[in-house]
Amino acid sequence: MGVIRNFIYILSFALILITLQACKKDKIGFQEDNRIQQEVINTSKLRVINLIDMNQVIVNNRDSLTNFIQDDGSGQNYLKRTRYFSLNGRLGKTWNIPQAILNSTKATDIRLEANGPQLSIGKVSFQVKETDTRAKDYYVWTSEKFVEPDYPQSRVLEIPRDETGPQRAGYFKIRIINLAAKIKSSGQGTTPDTEDLLDQYTLSYANGDAIHQRTSQIAQGKWSEYVEIPYGTYQFRVLTSDQRQLPYGQNPPVAETTAAVDPATSSITERFQKGQYISFAPIKNYMPGGVYTIVISPRSLNHYMDEGGSFIPNFQNAFEIIEDIAPPANITLAHLQAVNALPGSSDISLRIAGQIINQIAYGKASPYQMFTKGSYKLEALDANQKVLATTDVLLDANDNVSAWVNQNAQGQTQISVAHNNLTGYWYVPGGQDNAVYNQITQLFPFNARFFNFCPEEPYLTFAQRTGEKIGAGGGAEQQYYTEPAAFQNLQPGQVINRYPYVNMGGAITAPFNIYAFQSKPNSVPGNWLPDLKNISGQDFIANKDLYTVRGNLPTHERGYYSVALIGSYKATSPAHKPKIIIIKHNQ
């Protein structure tokens, strides 16, 4: 009997194990793979760069790799995915060619077409081939319908691509490719008054300074070497030989400018008006380890056809940023600069981790220095290396910090640490629980934060001459939220960290001025300080020659700025009396 009972126990235990194992297998079946691209596709070292809105791909004259479905307006069939185009079944800006479509000689024939409501841009056929271990790009850059036929480069240009990152830590690599051509003066996609921008081109910083000799005066159909630049926030410009700015290869962001491009000046315009002399060029964070190409080619840009605000396309030579190597996440490096706002001082220095940022003139900012994340002691030094003030700062990866050396209300030297936001992200308060939809991204920002570094002004407010608050009004005021504390009743040395920025954008055509007021907590804006020279939007322009070459100045220049009242009424030197200064944080 005991034997039978033991057998029953063993049998029951075995059945339980089998049941549990079966349940375990069943649970695996409920797992889902939600990745858009589930298949692992090995890519070659070849890449197609599509600059003219082609969207369909055929290889070897027979195999269609895209969906060839025209949108019927429902938005459903347009997104039919294919094996090699798993996002929406269509060719985008860049395409890494799979190894599977190359033949035994590591080559294949490709034909690109456009299927949809685009302007008629025809078809283009070319062969791609791997010849060695070096990566190559095939730039499909123009439609012959919109350019004169005397360009020196082929319609599909094979250009080597660098797959090695920068040699120096904290740097990125960049180059320039000139695929410009002479735009036809008449026909679909052109207007008779289109500005002629065909030239040699130079890659420059926002102030017009060339970034390197090797990326300057690049001729038509040629490309430069890569150069290494410290990571940071840049607004690169592409300039002709006479310093005219090229527009960017996509239309200005409507949410930020409500604008199009004037063909005669290649600058932003509003509502069928003349161009306002400010060209759209995105402000972007270029991260350590990234590799980038800036390419110039004929592009379709919107311009106004009537006063009602209707757009039509117009071709013009414009530049675009192509990512050759995506940068890894920056988990180590931060930026810090020093600003001398100390009245009565000559050149001062800032010491951090044994490194000295030297000879910062009064009212000026030092270049940014790179540091690894961590806690640091900051020391402000006079010309004799005497310590004037100290403070501690915690730097995290990707931080951008300005250390303002100034004087507090008691006349003592202090260091005010400001963490700058150069990301382009702007938080919009609202009712979302997790804030996923409570932020917007700016490509063309005009953002400023404000400081009071005058020890004799206990409360300072920045406002327009009439006392109206500064910043964009109307709908933009709701979209780019700023708390009044960012520019009202600022105390000496105070750093506002909650919603510290003011969106100064608004209309491209609207001029503005900023005045300083002596205010009180219960009286805003207070009394205007007439002895202080106000600043205008045009005071934000670093190099006016970049604009007067076309005949006039814009109302302002986009970028990230700090605006501060510095100086002391007790200073003996007129240069150290109170005045408003502007520090620009992007290059």
pLDDT per residue as tens digits for the range 9-58: 555 555 555 555 555 544 455 466 555 556 678 889 999 999 988 889 99
User: In the predicted model, is pLDDT for residue 193 greater than 60?
Assistant: yes
Q: How confident is the model at residue 280 (pLDDT cuts 50, 70, 90)?
A: very high
Q: Which residues pair with 518 in a beta bridge?
A: 460, 527
Residue predicted with more confidence, 253 or 389: 389
Backbone angles phi and psi of 309, in degrees to 5: 95, 15
In this prediction, residue 33 carries a pLDDT of 57
User: In the predicted model, is pLDDT for residue 304 greater than 50?
Assistant: yes
Q: Average pLDDT in the 337-346 region?
A: 95
Residue predicted with more confidence, 76 or 458: 458
Per-residue pLDDT of 147-158, as tens digits, reads: 888 888 888 999
Three-state SS sequence of 480-507: CCCCHHHCCCECCCCCCCCCCCEECCCC
Q: Which residues pair with 350 in a beta bridge?
A: 357, 380
**Distances in Å between the alpha carbon of 259 and those of 12, 115, 118, 532?**
77, 28, 21, 34
Q: Average pLDDT in the 203-228 region?
A: 98
Q: Are 62 and 125 in contact (CB under 8 A)?
A: no
Q: Average pLDDT in the 501-505 region?
A: 86
In this prediction, residue 559 carries a pLDDT of 96
Residue predicted with more confidence, 353 or 397: 397
For residue 260, the SS3 value is: strand
User: In the predicted model, is pLDDT for residue 475 greater than 50?
Assistant: no
Query: β-strands 311-325, 260-262: how paired?
Result: unpaired
Q: Average pLDDT in the 127-133 region?
A: 90
d(CA 228, CA 174) in angstroms, rounded, equals 7
In this prediction, residue 29 carries a pLDDT of 52
Q: Are 136 and 159 in contact (CB under 8 A)?
A: yes
| Highest mean pLDDT: which range of 74-78, 159-163, 230-234 | 230-234
Q: Average pLDDT in the 288-301 region?
A: 95
Q: How confident is the model at residue 433 (pLDDT cuts 50, 70, 90)?
A: low
Q: Are 471 and 504 in contact (CB under 8 A)?
A: yes
Task: Kindly give, in sequence order, each residue whose CB lies less than 8 Å from that of residue 262, ignoring residues fewer than 6 positions away.
Answer: 268, 269, 273, 274, 275, 276, 303
Topology of domain 331-419 in CATH is Immunoglobulin-like (2.60.40)
Q: Average pLDDT in the 453-470 region?
A: 94
Backbone angles phi and psi of 119, in degrees to 5: -60, 150
In this prediction, residue 25 carries a pLDDT of 46
**Distances in Å between the alpha carbon of 329 and those of 97, 118, 332, 489?**
25, 37, 9, 39
Q: How confident is the model at residue 2 (pLDDT cuts 50, 70, 90)?
A: low
- Looking at residue 575, the DSSP 8-state letter turns out to be G
Per-residue pLDDT of 518-533, as tens digits, reads: 999 999 999 999 999 9
User: In the predicted model, is pLDDT for residue 308 greater than 90?
Assistant: no
In this prediction, residue 474 carries a pLDDT of 45
In this prediction, residue 276 carries a pLDDT of 83
In this prediction, residue 19 carries a pLDDT of 55
The fraction of the chain above a pLDDT of 90, given in percent, is 61
Backbone angles phi and psi of 499, in degrees to 5: 45, 60
Least confident of 33-42, 194-203, 251-260: 33-42
Least confident of 323-327, 366-370, 473-477: 473-477
In this prediction, residue 427 carries a pLDDT of 77
Residue predicted with more confidence, 30 or 420: 420
Average pLDDT for the chain: 87
Per-residue pLDDT of 102-115, as tens digits, reads: 999 999 999 998 88
Q: Average pLDDT in the 277-301 region?
A: 95
Query: β-strands 400-407, 413-419: how paired?
Result: antiparallel
Task: Kindly give, in sequence order, each residue whose CB lies less than 8 Å from that of residue 135, ignoring residues fewer than 6 positions away.
Answer: 45, 46, 47, 160, 161, 162, 163
For 73-185, where are the E strands, in sequence order?
94-98, 107-113, 124-129, 135-140, 156-161, 171-178
Q: How confident is the model at residue 137 (pLDDT cuts 50, 70, 90)?
A: very high
Sign, CA torsion 437/442/446/450: positive
503: amino acid identity, one letter: N
Residue predicted with more confidence, 25 or 513: 513
- Going from N- to C-terminal start, the domains of the chain cover 39-140, 142-329, 331-419, 421-587
d(CA 407, CA 387) in angstroms, rounded, equals 14
C-alpha torsion 503→506→508→510, nearest 10? -110
d(CA 444, CA 252) in angstroms, rounded, equals 8
Q: Which residue has the tokens 């090797």?
A: 214
d(CA 365, CA 384) in angstroms, rounded, equals 20
